[in-house]
Amino acid sequence: MDKQETLSVYIDNNGQWRWRVLAEDNRIIAGAENGYDSKADCLADAEANGFILEDALPLDAEAASPVYF
């Protein structure tokens, strides 16, 4: 993943965990094809697709704002 790309993790409108990779201009360039019941399964899918989890930026489902970890 380029430094200009951001991996984000969020809960969709169906209550499922998803991940996506955003380019510097906020275009979605990759993402989960499926929703996951658990954050761990979602992160495992992102990792299986070659994305580095330490760069992840999870989004607070209620506030829809970044929460760093």
How do the pLDDT tens digits run along the chain, 69 residues long? 556 788 888 999 999 999 998 888 889 999 999 999 998 899 899 989 988 766 555 554 444 444 333
Q: Which one is the CATH code of 6-58: 1.10.357.10, 3.40.50.300, 3.30.160.160, 1.10.3720.10?
A: 3.30.160.160
Phi, psi of 11, rounded to the nearest 5 degrees: -105, 125
Q: What pLDDT does 66 receive?
A: 42
Q: What pLDDT does 61 receive?
A: 47
Class of residue 27 by CB neighbours under 10 A (exposed 0-12, middle 13-18, buried 19+): exposed
Q: Can you give the residue ranges of every domain in the chain?
A: 6-58
CA 10 from centre of chain: 6
Kindly report the pTM of this predicted structure.
0.71
